[in-house]
Amino acid sequence: MRRTALLSVLVPVGVLALTVLAWHLVVTLGDVETYDLPAPALVVETLFRDWSILGPALWVTLKLTFTALALAVVGGVALAVLMAQSRWIALALYPYAVILQVTPVVALAPIIVTRIPDTQTALLVLAFVVAFFPILTNTAQGLRSVDHNLRDWFDLNGAGRLRRLWHLEAPSALPYFLTGLRIAGGIALIAAVVAEFAAGSSGAGSGLAFRLFEAQYRLNTPRVFAALLLLAITGVAIFALTSLLSAWALRNWHESAVPRDR
């Protein structure tokens, strides 16, 4: 058991180390130009050297991502609960949720950016639109997946709509909601980056995507890679955070989170 736990850390870390080593060797031995592919050490060095530019940009992107995610949780759950109350509400609203989802955020960006004067607000709206859908659909699915007999049992025991929602439907939907949250967390970051590319915001309030774009334009490839590295780390961190939250919330009962005895 201990050995498996150790290996499950060592194997991915080892592969990562080998990949970075291979990258390093390709650049140094292959005589590759820095503006084509910077060495890993240079990328890390640039990350620290340019932190005064990249740090604030990361903060802007993080704020945007998490605000969009928080709004998506509130809006997605609220709409899912509303749709679970009545089939007619669901039928009336669902098409709009789908239309918003299937329209590419890149296509939507110019329309929204030109209509909302504040760029950060426009970006927030774009990231929200993208993150909102998986939370809505997963939560709605969860609310519909309540065991029929348990529903009957709650009726027999005189539970009203509110108490049934709180004591039965909400816990039943929790694993579904958490799946939605994991998906939404990842794509909220992507949406934040894509929206910023599309909107082309600049100046003091600009996020990582703009800095990446700007560095690319100036052929400052080490900084492009440093920004890319930050985005990747952020994405992994969001995934890890939402996965941990999910495992913690379901630790006592759900098959996905309960360790199996052999």
Partner 1 sequence: MTAGGAIRAAAIVRLTSVAKTFANGVRALDGVDLSIAPGEFVSLLGPSGCGKSTILRLVAGLSSPSAGAVTLGGSPEEAARIRREIGFVFQEPTLMPWATVAANVGMALKLRHVPHREVQDRVAEALALVGLDSFAKAYPRQLSGGMKMRVSIARALVARPKLLLLDEPFAALDEITRFRLNDDLVRLWHEFRWTVLFVTHSVFESVYLSSRVLVMSPRPGRVVRDMAIPDAGRSEAWRMSPEYNALAREVSLALHAAMAEAA
Q: By CB under 8 A, name the binding residues for partner 1.
A: 147, 149-150, 152-159, 163, 167-168, 171, 174, 252-254, 258
Are residues 130 and 188 in contact, defined by beta-carbon separation less than 8 angstroms?
yes
Cα pseudo-dihedral 170, 175, 178, 184, rounded to 10: -100
Residue 159 Cβ vs partner 1, minimum distance, rounded to whole Å: 5
Of 32 and 150, which has the nearer Cβ to partner 1?
A: 150
Of 9 and 162, which has the nearer Cβ to partner 1?
A: 162
Of 52 and 252, which has the nearer Cβ to partner 1?
A: 252
Residue 163 Cβ vs partner 1, minimum distance, rounded to whole Å: 6
Cα pseudo-dihedral 80, 81, 86, 92, rounded to 10: -30
Residue 157 Cβ vs partner 1, minimum distance, rounded to whole Å: 4
Burial class from Cβ neighbours inside 10 Å (0-12, 13-18, 19+) for residue 99 reads exposed
Residue 145 Cβ vs partner 1, minimum distance, rounded to whole Å: 12
Of 59 and 253, which has the nearer Cβ to partner 1?
A: 253
Of 36 and 261, which has the nearer Cβ to partner 1?
A: 261
Burial 162-184 (b: 16+ CB within 10 A, else e): eebbeebbbebbbbbbbbbbbbb
Distance CA 248, CA 257 (A): 8
Residue 243 Cβ vs partner 1, minimum distance, rounded to whole Å: 19
